[in-house]
């Protein structure tokens, strides 16, 4: 165990105190992990539009103050009771759709919507006791997606942690936590394009590029990228996109363009 195991850790975190208001870097307290929980030292984190959407609090139940973030990489600092497959020093990625490994969904090859750890944007506390592990001057600060990576330390359920090769560069593989797995998984596991097929991808951001990579792996012969930003086209070629369409170039629906 680390020399901070079992102790409250004080660290910096970007806290959203109100919807749509700038995040404030605060010193917060991060409690030790409880049963089946892991405390992580977050080394790198990226920004996903989902974080922005829930920070804006449009179309959902606001829950503040909150620490956002779910695309990250870090190292296990300490583990709680019952955790046997992770130990301090392990390199990991936090996962917002976790797996308990025991429910019918986790045992199914057709679903990853775990009964216990499926994505829940309204839940702001830990499952073990319904309490948060973040606080400032005694005031609880809510979790987000069970990850809350906009903090130097965070506490997550052990089922929401993926152990990775320690040689993998965390500043690059952190996007596997969301953007890459979302696009690649949508192509390989849902769309399932056949070899020689034609695939159209709308939007060539991180998710779109990952979807293109999935289409390439599947053997699609034509991968058509559609985006309003032509500056993305060169990078998209590296992910297998063979043709490009910019809707701004047409004054009628693209299917009517010659």
The pLDDT, as a whole number, for residue 1 is 53
The pLDDT, as a whole number, for residue 258 is 57
Distance CA(77)–CA(41), nearest Å, equals 6
The pLDDT, as a whole number, for residue 58 is 81
- 253-258: list long-range contacts, CB under 8 Å, 24+ apart: 254/226
Nearest to 157 by CA among 88, 50, 82: 82
Spatial CB neighbours of 160, under 8 Å, sequence gap ≥ 6: 94, 95, 96, 98, 117, 146, 147
The pLDDT, as a whole number, for residue 60 is 78
Query: Residue length, the chain?
Result: 258
Dihedral sign from CA coordinates of 50, 53, 58, 63: positive
Q: Are 98 and 114 in contact (CB under 8 A)?
A: yes
The pLDDT, as a whole number, for residue 244 is 93
The pLDDT, as a whole number, for residue 177 is 87
Q: What percent of the chain has pLDDT over 90?
A: 79
Distance CA(189)–CA(202), nearest Å, equals 18
The pLDDT, as a whole number, for residue 3 is 85
The pLDDT, as a whole number, for residue 112 is 79
The pLDDT, as a whole number, for residue 132 is 97
Distance CA(17)–CA(104), nearest Å, equals 38
The pLDDT, as a whole number, for residue 129 is 93
Which domains, and CATH codes, for the chain? 9-175 (3.90.180.10), 179-256 (3.40.50.720)
Show the low-confidence residues of the chain (pLDDT under 70): 1-2, 254, 257-258
Q: For residue range 171-197, list pLDDT tens digits in order.
A: 999 988 888 889 999 999 899 999 999
Distance CA(135)–CA(82), nearest Å, equals 24
């Amino acid at each position: 165990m680390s020399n901070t195991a079992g102790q409250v850790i004080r660290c910096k975190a970007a806290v959203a105190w109100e919807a749509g208001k700038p995040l404030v870097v605060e010193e917060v307290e991060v409690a030790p992990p409880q049963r089946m929980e892991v405390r992580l030292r977050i080394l790198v984190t990226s920004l996903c539009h989902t974080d922005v959407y829930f920070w804006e609090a449009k179309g959902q139940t606001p829950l503040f103050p909150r620490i956002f973030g779910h695309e990250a990489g870090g190292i296990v600092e300490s583990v709680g009771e019952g955790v046997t497959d992770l130990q301090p020093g392990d390199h990991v990625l936090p996962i917002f759709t976790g797996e308990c490994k025991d429910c019918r969904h986790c045992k199914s090859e057709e679903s990853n919507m775990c009964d216990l750890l499926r994505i829940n944007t309204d839940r702001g506390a830990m499952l073990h006791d319904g309490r948060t592990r973040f606080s400032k001057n005694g005031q609880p600060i809510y979790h987000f997606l069970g990850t809350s990576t906009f903090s130097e330390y965070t506490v997550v359920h052990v089922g929401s942690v993926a152990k990775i090769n320690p040689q993998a560069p965390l500043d690059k593989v952190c996007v596997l936590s969301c953007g890459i797995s979302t696009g690649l998984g949508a192509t390989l596991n849902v769309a399932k394009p056949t070899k020689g097929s034609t695939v159209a991808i709308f939007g060539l951001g991180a998710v779109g590029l990952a979807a293109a990579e999935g289409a390439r792996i599947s053997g699609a012969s034509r991968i058509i990228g559609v985006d309003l930003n032509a500056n993305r086209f060169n990078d998209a070629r590296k992910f297998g996109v063979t043709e490009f369409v910019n809707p701004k170039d047409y004054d009628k629906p693209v299917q009517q363009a010659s």
